[in-house]
Structure 1
Amino acid sequence: MKIPKRIQPLVDDGLVDEVQSQLMSGKEASVYIVRCGETIRCAKVYKEISQRSFKKATAYREGRKVRNSRRARAMEKGSGFGREQQEKVWQSAEVDALYKLAAAGVRVPQPFGCFDGVLLMELVTDDDGYVAPRLNDVVMPAEQAIADHQVMMTYVVKMLCVGLIHGDLSEFNVLVDEYGPVIIDLPQAVDAAANNNAEWMLARDINNIRDYYAQFAPELANTEYAKEIWSIYEKGELKPDTKLTGEFIEQEDLADINAIMEEIDAARIEEKHRRERAKEMKDGIDESKFNWSES
């Protein structure tokens, strides 16, 4: 096929030898199947910000740090240079996340570098060598659904342990090969510690996955992994091998005994002062009566 304009520089530099076909076109990027020497890979071409339809990008960028102070100031002001820098941060976020998650034991496509808005990475295939299907296109028995769901919860935990939340995880962002689920599409990965939206994004990710697998294993619909995982994470006790139960008991807000005692003490002191003031006023009135009668 005709070489896309954005991939041409990679062909010129010998990083890509042939563009075989377009794999998909999404809200933030188009993906092509390419040949690099004897290896078939995929090239993800990020769309320009004017063409990208990904909504609420600001919520995802929150907490992303830029070391260069000039770049950071420009991004805050929203200047032309700042928007360009935002794009670079947005694009590099995915390749950074891929390297970090692969090192943490999460199955993601192997990245080979990002070049001027084009991410070269592994093409995930099935056991016949065809492009692996999305989870959305896979039907499975209940036992497999339960097993794969457990794998996905393990991946979510490992991601959180290295400070990341996918932020847009669903059956459309998971591929399935002969070894199981592979997580894809990470440009919107969220910094769990710095993003104020982290908790609900994590819950949405987990519940999306739960709801899909629950179609095949209905018992999963009643699990509460999102609340369980976040509760353990907030306590600082979450580890990659943390054993999960999928259960979470909502506790009513426990009374703050210290605060109540302080309020009682304050009320007691106030009442004591009130009585003292009343006594002083009474004594003053009695004394004035006494003085008046003597006169």
Structure 2
Amino acid sequence: MKTPKRIQPLVEEGLIDEVLRQLMSGKEATMYVVRCGDEIRCAKVYKEVTQRSFHQAVAYQEGRRVKNSRQARAMEKGTRYGRKMAEEVWQSAEVDALYRLASAGVRVPTPYICFEGVLLMELVTDADGNVAPRLNDVELNRDRALAFHAMLLQQVVLMLCVGVIHGDLSEYNILVDAQGPVIIDLPQAVNAASSSVASTMLERDVTNLSHFFSNFVPELVNSQYGEEIWNLYQAGLLTPDSPLNGRVAAPTEPVDIHAVIHEIELARQEEDQRI
């Protein structure tokens, strides 16, 4: 196929030899299958901010910083240069998260390079060498659903142990290869230590998983794995091998009203950005 304009610089640099086909177009990027020498890989071309339906919401930007004070001021003022810097921070968040998680043993695509707004990474395939399906397209029964749910909880725990929360985890951004689930799409990854809504994001991710798998294992719908995992993390007790049972004792402490108000304010600001 004709080389897309955004990929042409990678071809000129010798990073990509040929664009084979478009794989899919999502809310934040368009994916292509490309050839790099003898390897078949995936090129993720990030869409411009004006073309994305998934906006850089306040909750996801919180905790992301740039070292250069000029860049930080420009981002705060929303200047043209600042918007460019914000885009680079948005894109680098996924690259940084992929390298960090891959090193921690999390099942994510292997990243190779991010150049001119294009992320070159491993193409996840199934047992037959075809592009791996999304979790929502995989045929499941009770036993397989239980196994995949346990595997994904383990991945969530591994991620949190290195301070990363996916932030948008669901059956639509999980692929299934020959060994099981592979987590993808991480530009909205949340830093657990610096985000005031980290616990909310973590619990939402885990609840999404429980709700999906409850179609095959009904009792999962009432599980509390997200809260259990976060409580262990907050207490400094979470390890990759922490046993989980999905149950949490009823709280005895009063509700933190200020934290609730803060989350409501973040949600309001996020809604304002969409208008």
- Report if TM-score (shorter chain) is over 0.5: yes
Matches within 5 A, 1:1-295: 1-55=1-55, 57-253=57-253
Give 3-state SS (helix, strand or coil) of 1:20's partner.
Answer: strand
**Which has the higher relative contact order, 1 or 2, with Cα contacts under 8 A spaced 6 or more apart?**
2
Q: Give deviations 1:103-140, integer Å, cap 9, x for gaps.
A: 11110000001001000000000010100000010121
Moved more, 68-77 or 4-13: 68-77
Structure 1 segments of 4 or more deviating over 3 A? none
Q: Give deviations 1:209-260, integer Å, cap 9, x for gaps.
A: 1111111111222211011011111112111221111111213337xxxxxx
Q: Give deviations 1:40-99, integer Å, cap 9, x for gaps.
A: 000000011111111352220110121112111111111111110000010011011001
Alignment partners' CA distance in 2, 1:43 and 1:143: 34
Residue pair 1:170, 1:205 contacting (<8 A) in 2 also: yes
Give 3-state SS (helix, strand or coil) of 1:99's partner.
Answer: helix
Q: Give deviations 1:153-181, integer Å, cap 9, x for gaps.
A: 11111111111100000000100011000
Alignment partners' CA distance in 2, 1:226 and 1:54: 24
Alignment partners' CA distance in 1, 2:224 and 2:50: 39
Over the aligned positions, Cα root-mean-square deviation in angstroms equals 1.1
Instruction: Give the fraction of aligned pairs with identical amino acids, expressed as a percent.
Output: 63
Given residue 228 of structure 1, which amino acid in structure 2 is its aligned partner? E
Give 3-state SS (helix, strand or coil) of 1:172's partner.
Answer: helix
Give 3-state SS (helix, strand or coil) of 2:19's partner.
Answer: strand
Alignment partners' CA distance in 1, 2:142 and 2:240: 25
Given residue 125 of structure 2, which amino acid in structure 1 is its aligned partner? T
Alignment partners' CA distance in 2, 1:19 and 1:57: 32
Structure 2: state its 5+ residue gaps.
Answer: 255-275
Question: What is the aligned residue count?
Answer: 254
Alignment partners' CA distance in 2, 1:27 and 1:172: 12
TM-score normalised by the chain length of structure 2:
0.90
Residue pair 1:146, 1:220 contacting (<8 A) in 2 also: no
Greater CA radius of gyration, 1 or 2?
A: 1
